[in-house]
Structure 1
Amino acid sequence: MGILIAILAMNQFQINSLHKMMLSQNGSMNQAQAGAQVQGVSSGPSAQEVAAQILPKGVPARYGAELGVSFDSAAAAIAVLAPFEQDTRLDKLSGKNLERYISIGSQTSCEFCCGAQTMVFADGNKACGCEHSAAMRGVVAYLLDTYGDQMSDTEILAEANQWKATFFPGPTVEKYMAANGQSGSGNGLQSQVGGC
C-alpha cells in the first residue's frame, strides 16, 4: 500500500511539474480559459499542443550522445536501452546500486500497457516483460552504473519517466490533461511505441 501511495505521489509531482513548465512557456491564460478552469474543465489547448509542450524531444543531455539515443526515435532507443536492464545484463547490479534500482523501479511503471504497478519486484526482477519497460529499467541501470555518484534517485526516476512519456505519448497527454481539468483526449497521438 505504501508503494502505491509513493507511486501516486511521484506521478502527481511529475504532472504538477509539467503543468508549471507548460504555464511558464505559455505565459498567462486568456480570460476564456481562466473562466473555464474556474468551472472545473478547461477547453484549453489541444492534445497536439499539450504534446508539443510536455513530451521530451531531442537527445538526452547527459547520456544521449554516448548511447546514440534520442526521444525523437523511440523505437530505436528501446533496442539500445533494454539490454542494460538488470534481468538480461551479464554484470548484475549489486549492493547500493541494486538497492537504488529497486527503489527507483518501484516508483514508476508502464501503467498504460500491461497494468503492472511497478517496473520491478522487491527483489529487483522485472515486474513487466514489455519492451518499453525493459528500456525504462535499462536507462535506470545504465545511469546508476555510469552516473550513480552524480545523479540522485529523483533525477534518474525523472529520466525513466521521460522515456515513459515518449513510449506512451497519447496516454501521457490524456493523463496530463485530465489532471489539469482540461477536456480532450490523446486522439491523434500514438498510444504506444514498442511491444508488450
Structure 2
Amino acid sequence: MQKKYGIALMFVLVFMLIINQWQLSTLNKMAAMASSQANAAAPANPTASETMLSPEIAAVASELLARGVPPVYGAKLGVSFDDPTAAINVLAPLEQDTRLNKLTGALLQRYIAIGQQTACEFCCGATTLVFPDGSKACACAHSAAMRGVIAYLLTTEGNTMSDQQILAEANKWKSVFFPAPTVQKYLASQGRQTASPALPAQVGGC
C-alpha cells in the first residue's frame, strides 16, 4: 500500500513540475511580447543629422552647401559635391601651375581676374587664389581644386560662361570643402551670431 502511495506521490510531483515549467514558459513568452510591443511603440532614435543641426542651421546649410553632380561638367569629370575629397584629386591637377596646356592671353587674364575674387581663406588665410601674375597664392589642395575648376571651365566653357558664373562654381566647391566656416560667415554677415554649427570645419586634406 505504501508503495502505491509513493508511486502516486511521485506522479503528482512530476505533474506539478510539468505545470510549473509550462507556467514559467508562458510568462517568459508574455514578457518577451510586452517588451517587443514597447520597443515598437517607442520613437526611433533620431539620426545624427537630425540631432546635430538646429532647424536654423539646417536651413542655412541646405541653402549654402552645394549638393549633387555639377550640371555642366560634373558627369564629364566624374565629380560630385557629395564627395569633395574625391573631387579634389580630379580638379587640383587642372590648375594653371600643373596643367599641361597652360592658359595664355585672354584666358589667362580671366583666370587671374576670377582667382583674385575668392580664396580658401578658411584653410590657410590666403586672401586670393592667385597672385597678379597668375601663380598660385596658396599651395593647399582645396585652393588647387578651386583654381582647377576655374581653369577647366575657361578652356571648355569659356565662350558660354561668364567670369561670375565660373567664380560661382569655384565658390560652390569652397562651400563643401569648408561647411562650418561657410555657414558661420554667412550668419555673421546677417548679424546672426550662433555657436559653431555641428558641421565639418574642413573636408579633404590641405
TM-score normalised by structure 1 residue count: 0.75
Unaligned runs of 5+ in 2: 1-53
The residue identity in structure 2 corresponding to 1:69 is V
The residue that corresponds to 1:110 in the other structure is: 120
Greater RCO, CA 8 A, separation 6+: 1
The residue that corresponds to 1:167 in the other structure is: 177
Structure with more of its chain in helix, by fraction: 2
The residue identity in structure 2 corresponding to 1:192 is Q
The residue identity in structure 1 corresponding to 2:127 is Q
Question: Within the alignment, does 1:68 sit opposite 2:78 as a pair?
Answer: yes
Deviation of residue 54 (structure 1)? 1.8
- Give me the whole-angstrom Cα distance separating, in 2, the residues matched to 1:79 and 1:93: 20
Question: Within the alignment, does 1:157 sit opposite 2:167 as a pair?
Answer: yes
- Give me the whole-angstrom Cα distance separating, in 1, the residues matched to 2:135 and 2:193: 38
Share of identical aligned residues, percent? 63
Which aligned segments of 4 or more residues in structure 1 are displaced greater than 6 angstroms? none
Deviation of residue 58 (structure 1)? 0.3
The residue that corresponds to 2:38 in the other structure is: none
What are the superposed Cα offsets for residues 51-93 of structure 1, whole Å, 9 maximum, x if unpaired?
Answer: 1222110011111111111100000100010010000111110
Matched residue of 1:139: which SS?
helix
Match of 2:129 among 119, 139, 142: 119
The residue that corresponds to 1:35 in the other structure is: none
- Give me the whole-angstrom Cα distance separating, in 2, the residues matched to 1:127 and 1:194: 19
- Give me the whole-angstrom Cα distance separating, in 2, the residues matched to 1:101 and 1:58: 25
Matched residue pairs, number? Answer: 153
- Give me the whole-angstrom Cα distance separating, in 2, the residues matched to 1:56 and 1:187: 17
